[in-house]
Amino acid sequence: MTAAAHVSLESKVAFLRQPGSLAEDACRVEAIETHMSWVFLTDAHAYKLKKPVRQDLFDFRSLAARRHYCEEELRLNRRLAPDVYLGIDALSIDRLGRLHLGQHGTVVDWLVRMRRLPRERMLDHALLHGGADPDDIRRVAARLVAFYRSCTPVMLDPAAYRAAFRRTIRLNLVELTQYACRLPAARVAALCQAQLALLEDRRDWFERRVRAGKIVEGHGDLRPEHVFLGPPLCIIDCLEFARALRLVDPVDELGFLALECERLGAPDAGALLLRTWTEMSGDAPCAALVHFYQGYRAGTRARIAIRHLAEERFRNSPEWPRRALHYLRLAEQHQASISSTSEPLP
């Protein structure tokens, strides 16, 4: 058994919680647990430790895999946040069994080191507290236009592109209806069937986007909580562990960000984001396609929300069924907005 295997996750977390463990003079450390990682916050920095876990799309159980995905997180996020992602730090153990940062001794894990960003300048916080104005939204759109222009088009088989949507919608149907006691199963089924039907009936919408070279390797998880309004403006937390989920139509990602603005009670910000994208990029897909993308994203986010009920610590929380139902309503609204016309975005 390797030295890395001897050091438990609990021991690593306990060590990193201590202010003196990190490579700076930290008075306190705030530790935050997510599904995939632990994040340790000081006044100036954030350190992310990936958990040794496996899920459908990734396997972090080996030390080599965790190092690889730390490197990928650094590489991918430096595209949109070059000054935030500072490097990768080794967590090692010496011959006396003492943990420390640095590569002296035996490396037992790896951490991504980032500059900590002020919470009040994140877009979700700004939208909720009146701190985002139209100029901020236009700056976000301009940054994304420049980013997507810099991306090399990825040529996919149009049928395979539609098949990926179909698989996810069917997964949404299965998982959301498992919680019929929390969600209206008939509404879930009606939504998913309508989305599947549109994929067949309007396959030309998707084929045109693929054949026009619109698919790129984008961000993968473009939400307001990942947008820092600056200065300087940057976008963090690119989805590093599954390239397939980063292969997107830019208006799909922009539509997702607009959807999340809508969920936070700022639909005007989302509409402005999409209008500014069209004005700056010259890309004007049909509005119905954007509504499909948004309804699809809302259905998927409903599934991600309701999955929390499978975990003991969330099982009796009312928050996740409430959030899933909110996403379901948004998905239904965008599905209802789809018409038989193919008019561009206003």
Which residue did the predictor score with more confidence, 346 or 218? 218
Residue 257 half-sphere exposure toward CB, CA atoms < 13 A = 29
Q: Of the ranges 10-24, 139-153, 256-270, 292-306, which one carries the lowest mean pLDDT score?
A: 10-24
Residues 299 and 192 sit within 8 Å (Cβ to Cβ)? yes
For 279-301, how does the pLDDT look when each residue is reduced to its tens digit (9 = 90+)? Answer: 999 999 999 999 999 999 999 99
Predicted pLDDT of residue 343: 61
SS3 33: strand
For 51-107, how does the pLDDT look when each residue is reduced to its tens digit (9 = 90+)? Answer: 999 988 899 999 999 999 999 999 999 999 999 999 999 999 999 999 999 999 999
Nearest alpha-carbon partner for 332 in 303, 305, 304, 292? 292
**CATH T-level fold of 123-336:** Aminoglycoside 3'-phosphotransferase; Chain: A, domain 2 (3.90.1200)
**How would you label 23-49 residue by residue, b for 16+ Cβ within 10 Å and e otherwise?**
eeebeebeeeeeeebbbbbbeebbbbb
Predicted pLDDT of residue 341: 55
Residue 113 pLDDT greater than 70, yes or no:
yes
Predicted pLDDT of residue 1: 40
**Boundaries of every domain in the chain:** 3-116, 123-336
Residues 317 and 308 sit within 8 Å (Cβ to Cβ)? yes
Phi, psi at 167, each rounded to 5°: -60, -45
Predicted pLDDT of residue 345: 56
Mean pLDDT of all residues in the chain? 94
114 forms beta bridges with: 46, 85
Residue 338 half-sphere exposure toward CB, CA atoms < 13 A = 23
